[in-house]
Amino acid sequence: MTRSFSLFLLVLSLALVGGAYASAFLPDGWPAWAPWALLVGTVTSLLAISLVGTTPPGGQAPRRLLVALGGVFLLLVGGVGAGLLLPAPGADSPLVGGLPPGAAFLVYGAGLLPLLVVPLTYAWVFPRVGFGEGEVEALTRRAREAAASRPGETGRGDGAGRRSGADR
């Protein structure tokens, strides 16, 4: 997936969110598709922003990242969508983990489960997406060289060599 397609996906998802909000002003109330458009548009926009930020210009998003973000999409849409599909609870409704079933899907499926899955997914994807050890060292060396070449700085990177406005 390219960066331009990620931007297209972002615009499309924001159009879904805008359409869902605009449907609230219809004379007969919001249509049945509006909550789903809001859900899918919101989740897709968050993931599209992640893709835009991690895809190099002119490059492709790593396959592992696409698999991971697809899993997060299914997890979030499934957790919130299950809550949307369930009927409104009554006084005699069973509780799931101390909550009505719809709220349980929201809290556990879209709230707590991603707290476990997303960091593990990040750990699985990051070695292929992030900087390698040699790249970090080269970046650190270049930053020190750039800081040392500025007048009035020591190049230590801690700001100790900066001159105040009164010293200039």
pLDDT tens by residue, 49-80:
988 887 877 778 778 788 888 888 988 898 88
Residues 6 or more apart whose Cβ sits within 8 Å of residue 131: 139
Residue 58's pLDDT is 78
Q: Give the pLDDT of residue 16.
A: 96
Give domain status of residue 167, yes or no: no
Whole-angstrom distance, CA of residue 43 vs CA of residue 73: 7
pTM for this prediction: 0.67
In a domain, 134, yes or no: yes
Banded model confidence at residue 168, pLDDT cuts 50, 70, 90: very low
| Same domain as 143, residue 79 | yes
Task: Tell me, yes or no, whether 45 and 29 share the same domain.
Answer: yes
Check whether residue 75 and residue 143 sit in a common domain. Answer: yes
Instruction: Indicate if the pLDDT at residue 110 is higher than 90.
Output: no
Q: Based on the domain organization, do 78 and 49 belong to the same domain?
A: no
Q: How many distinct structural domains can be found in the chain?
A: 2
Q: Are residues 48 and 68 in the same domain?
A: no
Copy the structure tokens of residue 4: 């331009």
69 plus 18 within the same structural domain: no
Pair 57, 67 in one domain? no
> Which residues pair with residue 2 across a beta bridge?
60
With CA atoms as reference, report the closest residue to 143 among 156, 152, 130: 156
Residue 83 has pLDDT above 90, yes or no: no
Q: Are residues 69 and 131 both part of a single domain?
A: yes
| 49 and 80 both lie in a single domain | no
**Residue 163, phi-psi category: left (phi > 0), alpha (psi -120 to 50), beta (remainder):** beta
Q: Are residues 15 and 45 in the same domain?
A: yes
> Are 112 and 140 part of one and the same domain?
yes
Q: Look up the domain containing 77 and give its range.
A: 62-87+95-157
